[in-house]
Amino acid sequence: MGKVILITGCSSGMGKQSAQYLASCGFIVYAGSREPSKITPSKNLIPIKLDVTKSQTINSAIQTICEKHKKIDVLVNNAGYGLVSTVEDLDEEEMFNQYNINVFGLLRVCKSVIPVMREANSGVIINISSFLGKIGLPLLSLYNSSKYAVEGITDSLRYELSEFNIRVHSIMPGFFNTQFARENLVTNLHTFDKESAYANIVSKLAPVIVDEINSGNDAKEVALKIEEIIGNDNFPARVTVGDKAKKFIPMKKELSDEDFERRVREYYGI
């Protein structure tokens, strides 16, 4: 039997392209989405309803997969979105929703899949993080910190699951040309009001970030990296993908925090 892969957040972007590519490689791919009707099924690609904010849909999806295949070999935690807001302007609902999907959602799916992998004494968990899980940017405090959390979860799970032969990795993409800027960026209305106290930094940074996303790398690079991780038992804990990630993450390691901050300010003119 071929390897069985579950991917969350497959209705668009990296999740959609990764599901299509891995299915074309012969993997059996279950493409999770709140709206599975948006996903076109194929020979090895099976859309499945999965909302990472609702444990019932997660458990139901996993039960369906296990009833048919008796296993889940690979979990790719991809579901997520980005909130663009200053900390001052955040409301409680925005704060909770960002973490509920990007962090708690990932934990819910892991919690349900890990027992299946542990019983099989085998498995791979791949968390789609971001290079912004290692560096901060203004207006993205909640998104940044949610991805910092994903990196911390990845590190801890590597210890926790190693004795059960379950590998855990993170992929830290830079900016990619997907629907992310158009569909998966949520903006706070107060922050983007022309009378906002932060209008200066919004006018400088927001258009640049959106342009970098829309002109970014091809999302297939992420799919190829997922395939590589699956096939390599000795793959490193984490990997960067895309030009921005490959530029900023090594720079972050080489410089002091203050020097790195100065470089980022210069780069984005902030």
141 is catalytic: no
Candidate list 3, 11, 141, 170, residue with the active-site label: 11
| 3-class DSSP state of 29 | strand
Q: Is 117:72 a contact under the CB 8 Å cutoff?
A: yes
Q: What letters, b where the CB count within 10 A reaches 16 and e where it falls short, cover 91-106?
A: eeeeeebbbebbbbbb
Candidate list 18, 33, 112, 129, residue with the active-site label: 129
Candidate list 16, 134, 147, 244, residue with the active-site label: 147
DSSP secondary structure string, 114-127?
HHHHHHHT-EEEEE
43 is catalytic: no
Largest CA-CA distance found in the chain, in angstroms, rounded? 60
DSSP secondary structure string, 157-220?
HHHHHGGGTEEEEEEEE--BSSSHHHHSEEE-TTTTSTT-TTHHHHHHHHHHHHHHHHT-B-TH
147 is catalytic: yes
220 is catalytic: no
Candidate list 12, 33, 141, 143, residue with the active-site label: 143
Tell me the two tokens of residue 142: 């909640």
Amino acid in the structure at residue 149: A
Catalytic residues: 11, 129, 143, 147
